[in-house]
Amino acid sequence: MHAGSFLRRRLAHSSANSFHSTPFQLHRFRGAQISFPSFPRSSSLTSSYPPRRSLSTFPSSSPNEPRKASSFWTVTFALVLLCGGTWIHDKYRNSANNPPLPPHDQDNQELSPFLGVIDTLQTMPAEAAPGTVGNLTPEQEAKLQEFWVLLLKVCGVSLEDVEQSGDATPTSASQKKEQQPQQPKRRFGLFGGGKSSEDDDAASVKSANGISSGLASINITDGDDKYGQSKEFQQALVDMKPEEIRATLWNMVKQDNPDTLLLRFLRARKWDVKKALIMLVSTIRWRLQEVKVDDDIMKNGEHLALKQSQSSDPAEKKAGEDFLLQMRLGKSFLHGVDKLGRPICVVRVRLHKPSDQSTEALDRFTVYTIESARMMLAPPVETACVIFDMTNFSLSNMDYNPVKFMIKCFEANYPECLGVVLIHKAPWLFSGIWNIIKGWLDPVVAAKINFTKNVQDLEKFIPKDRIMKELDGDEDWEYKYVEPQPGENKTMEDTTKRDELLAERQKLAQEVQDATIAWISASQKKDDGALKAAKENRSGLIERLRVQYWQLDPYIRSRSLYDRLHILQGDGKIDFYPAESK
């Protein structure tokens, strides 16, 4: 029964009886169960009154007036409940209709309902979110500078000028003294460039040993090391030369602002610089040595899978067929943007059968999709919207291995990339599974997950004309896989031009690094004029680096479905709805 009507009727009844309610009646009233109107699961409200207590806990006028006292408190209590029930009803009704935005996205809510053509070289008309490039507090900017100092030291870069002019590095004075004789006295060379003599190799080993003695002692000791990244960090300092770490870092940047990349890790570690360094370096090792993101997955892409699928070798043939199966089924794909301009990734869970493909092929496909989504981010948008479509889900679709891998990717290797996760039309049998999965999630990631049961729920995040008909929206679009086309990777055969562009990028990255050191040094000296000039110079170089990536991209990355669909159009232009722009 509706709380308001119930209480009004009860109040009328009490008045009609001229306050002759008995203690027994009041006792029954206090133990009543009141149910408010049903709301969505996340906003449900069922309220019970306190347990029954003796009326002696309430004051009375005198022992001779028990009926009058009990009636008075019946009316008073009913009035309080009536007002409170009305307030709560309005509060939760408004909350259900207008769910709060995730904290990181609240400053972006003024974006237009949807975005068509997006040029990643231009800034959309929206303020940057707190803790991102363009919206840093002085303390956060100092943390970013501190992070750069430690990271460049891991990359084998001499920072003596910076260290002498301030305390940007958390390293103690005794550690500095111990490290200084081991710092390499040479210029910064990107992507493994520079000398290849035995002296250079010896210098690299010496540099690596110096890093190990100075930074390998950094560790996470408070239990906040869910994926064993402290060990991976220390292993990276042993296994990888500084040049390898440096090369992988700049390959990882791609079209991003390098500050944006570092800030993701800082925010993920709540601005703890040492933890952010451990997380980033372990991710660099993961990208280079474990999954080979840039040297294999993105470089070879769908074309390698097609070639493998035609191989006479059974193992190679299966690897190619398993990867292409994911693409052809459309088990997961990128299409459109939500209200905040975030690229949408749709995962159709009903299409997954654990035995249909190897774990390796599915993991490779997951990384391929995440990296493809990264290319569709346009500043100030830094996150994606993921929809898990649970329509017709059954237990035969459940597979914990890819779930665990996906969670690890977003928590450990792609931090701060998830904007919102929508679990759509989950059946009742998923509740038990969800209780298991929820226990694996970091609370920050878990807070971004919303359950939606119909298109009205989806409309809170995505305009209805941008929700495809498969999800009961108005957009007349369906997924179709376009096979790799002959000759579409011909540009990659021009190794001369590729090497020329790589050399240009190395030079630009060198200049960004030098400008970063100058920026940190000017900040430490508190020279406002020099600091302003350093920031402007550095911003211009970073923009040139971002533009230059798109010139290099066709020479180092195999064309994908999203190139063939003209979503990725080159030169940083991204059109999520190309059919509409023709």
Count of domains in the chain? 3
Q: Same domain, yes or no, for 140 and 247?
A: yes
Residue 384: beta bridge partners? Answer: 418
Distance in angstroms (rounded) separating the CA atoms of residues 175 and 322: 51
Q: What is the DSSP letter of 425?
A: S
Ramachandran category for residue 493: left, alpha or beta (phi over 0 → left; psi -120 to 50 → alpha):
alpha
Distance in angstroms (rounded) separating the CA atoms of residues 549 and 501: 9
Q: Tens of pLDDT along 163-218?
A: 544 444 444 333 433 444 444 333 333 344 433 434 444 433 344 444 545 566 67
Q: Which helix H or strand E contains 419, and what residues bound it?
A: strand 418-424
Among candidate residues 455, 471, 487, the one where a domain is terminated? 471
- The total number of residues shown for the chain amounts to 582
Residue 440 neighbours by CB under 8 Å, 6+ apart: 403, 404, 407
Any domain includes 462: yes
Any domain includes 97: no
Q: Same domain, yes or no, for 246 and 321?
A: no
Distance in angstroms (rounded) separating the CA atoms of residues 222 and 378: 36
Distance in angstroms (rounded) separating the CA atoms of residues 567 and 560: 10
Any domain includes 487: no
Q: Same domain, yes or no, for 351 and 454?
A: yes
Of 65, 67, 64, residue with least CA distance to 24:
67
Among candidate residues 290, 310, 329, the one where a domain is terminated? 290
Domain containing residue 422: CATH number: 3.40.525.10
φ/ψ of residue 534, rounded to 5: -65, -40
Distance in angstroms (rounded) separating the CA atoms of residues 428 and 485: 43
Edge-first strand order for the sheet with 449-452 is 332-337, 343-348, 384-389, 418-424, 449-452
For 550, the domain range is 501-557
Distance in angstroms (rounded) separating the CA atoms of residues 522 and 514: 12
Q: Same domain, yes or no, for 223 and 342?
A: no
Q: Same domain, yes or no, for 356 and 238?
A: no
Any domain includes 195: no
Helices (H) and strands (E) in the chain, counts: 21, 9
Q: Same domain, yes or no, for 465 and 513?
A: no
Q: Same domain, yes or no, for 369 and 437?
A: yes
Q: For the chain, give percent helix, strand, coil, nearest 5.
A: 60, 10, 35
Radius of gyration of the chain (CA): 30
Residues 210, 211, 213, CA angle at the centre, nearest 5°? Answer: 65
pLDDT of residue 300: 98
pLDDT of residue 378: 86
Q: Same domain, yes or no, for 451 and 520?
A: no
Q: Same domain, yes or no, for 311 and 437?
A: yes
Q: Same domain, yes or no, for 309 and 398?
A: yes
pLDDT of residue 572: 85
Distance in angstroms (rounded) separating the CA atoms of residues 440 and 443: 9
pLDDT of residue 451: 98
Angle, to 10 degrees, between the axis of helix 138-154 and the axis of helix 198-215? 140
Q: Which long-range contacts (CB under 8 A, 24 or more apart) does 330-334 make?
A: 330/479, 330/480, 330/481, 331/365, 332/365, 332/366, 332/369, 333/369, 333/479, 333/561, 334/369, 334/372, 334/373, 334/376, 334/562, 334/567
pLDDT of residue 551: 97
Ramachandran category for residue 19: left, alpha or beta (phi over 0 → left; psi -120 to 50 → alpha):
left
Residue 238 neighbours by CB under 8 Å, 6+ apart: 208, 212, 216
Is 418 in a helix, a strand, or coil? strand
Distance in angstroms (rounded) separating the CA atoms of residues 380 and 122: 9
Among candidate residues 471, 490, 512, the one where a domain is terminated? 471
Which tokens go with 179?
A: 């490290």
Q: Which amino acid is at 54?
A: S
Is 65 in a helix, a strand, or coil? coil
Q: Same domain, yes or no, for 259 and 405?
A: no
Any domain includes 2: no
Any domain includes 106: no
Ramachandran category for residue 491: left, alpha or beta (phi over 0 → left; psi -120 to 50 → alpha):
alpha
Distance in angstroms (rounded) separating the CA atoms of residues 437 and 102: 21
Any domain includes 553: yes
User: With contact defined as beta carbons under 8 Å apart, do 229 and 220 qualify?
Assistant: yes
Distance in angstroms (rounded) separating the CA atoms of residues 143 and 160: 19
Pairing of strands 384-389, 418-424: parallel
Which tokens go with 206?
A: 């010496």
Is 451 in a helix, a strand, or coil? strand
- The overall longest dimension of the chain from CA atoms, in Å, is 106
Which tokens go with 550?
A: 């798109």
pLDDT of residue 57: 37
Is 282 in a helix, a strand, or coil? helix
Any domain includes 505: yes
Q: Tens of pLDDT along 412-435?
A: 999 999 999 999 999 999 999 999
Q: Where are the beta strands (DSSP E) in 326-375?
A: 332-337, 343-348
pLDDT of residue 79: 43
Q: Give pLDDT < 70 ranges for the chain.
A: 1-126, 163-217, 220-223, 579-582
Q: Same domain, yes or no, for 323 and 285?
A: no
Q: What is the DSSP letter of 127?
A: P
Residue 339 neighbours by CB under 8 Å, 6+ apart: 109, 111, 113, 114, 461, 462, 463
First to last CA, the chain: 56
